[in-house]
Structure 1
């Protein structure tokens, strides 16, 4: 289990959530702080404080603390190769803290080589509720579904598979568009979803999924469905262009931890990270030049 820490409250919440997951799985936890440049002493203090907090709350787990040098998203993605999960907070320190989703969180969620979890700061208790699986059209691949079923089984909780019927774009009103989602069409979607999940119920007999077909804006409806969930699981067909608007919207709005499961994990995209690093360096120089 890998968690990135940077001294922010969001990262501290994510680290504590990761510690709970490590305890649930009987796995060790690695806390990693990435330093781009300068003295490592502050980073060592940050990762040490996070480690003490995690040990205090979960005494049964082994916690390792590490400070590494490099470009934060690139290093966390590189470290994710050997992790069960990589866990980050929804925002970090610096300029990105002014946005709802930090650049490090977004990059890790898009490019990690294992399932990536983005933990919001606004909720600190995740003990109850189902695992919610967002089902796209066409259905997602097996990695996402397998992860959702395994998590529901691990937590001895229910699984809610949610498919959102998106409004039809164009000049039609919402009412006119909604009539296109006829009862027979909705039944067809529900039946198809049940068939897609049937094999997984054989593998996980203790997990009998509920099916929820909704109509509306997908990110909004998924967040509503997951308002009391332990996890919201989404798939990501990895490309160098990142993920789509639904995943971005969910990561901005969700009140529960969101797991992004890559169907085609591709690890570090060197060109992407090199460009991001150069952009950060340019911004640092501009900030230094404008400082009084």
Structure 2
């Protein structure tokens, strides 16, 4: 298993990492801008840390359709906030959720240690930022989508095989360009460029990605594939998300991007205990 080193942290086998989501956007699909205001976002990070987050992923642009956000505006939303979080929580790994190299470079300078490029290298300069700064990098798969767009009836001969092949190629190319091998994660990127059937197949066969040796990040939290599978709105998708989380952890995923930190932490600790990777916290029964 490859080592995963992000900031001051090293994550080994059984160290399932919870990546808390804090969006400094007024139009988030989940909370409709509850953490857009600076003080609310600061409080959200503190709450996530208290609930067991290892990483916080900070974004300034909604992934889906919405008003245009310029590079300057995105920088204004995330960079000062990253600096504040870095000062307040020096042990916390900070990730910046961006596809733009300019934003990534400013964010890393402010304290981010991971660049979560959810749009699969749309801006090739993002890889150079990671190479130049020593930051970690998430290599994602979107089926060639332009940022903030939704695929129209994507077709794959074998979605798992195609995603695995492309992600390994992206990871190896990033190393060739100078990105630290122990700072790279691969993300199948559920929903992005995929139908619900594709995302379910990726979850079921996730071990085919984890067996590549590259640490796998999964971003499952309350996504459309969960909602469509259960026919539930965003505010009722927690149980489905946690089921997918447990299966992904069992299949070897290492980092879990989540809105519901405490619940995700408990699920991952239970999986680790069942696998024998972590001891029960308070074993007493019949002992």
> TM-score, normalised to structure 1's length?
0.24
Q: Which structure has greater helix proportion?
A: 1
State the structure with more CA Rg: 1
> TM-score, normalised to structure 2's length?
0.24
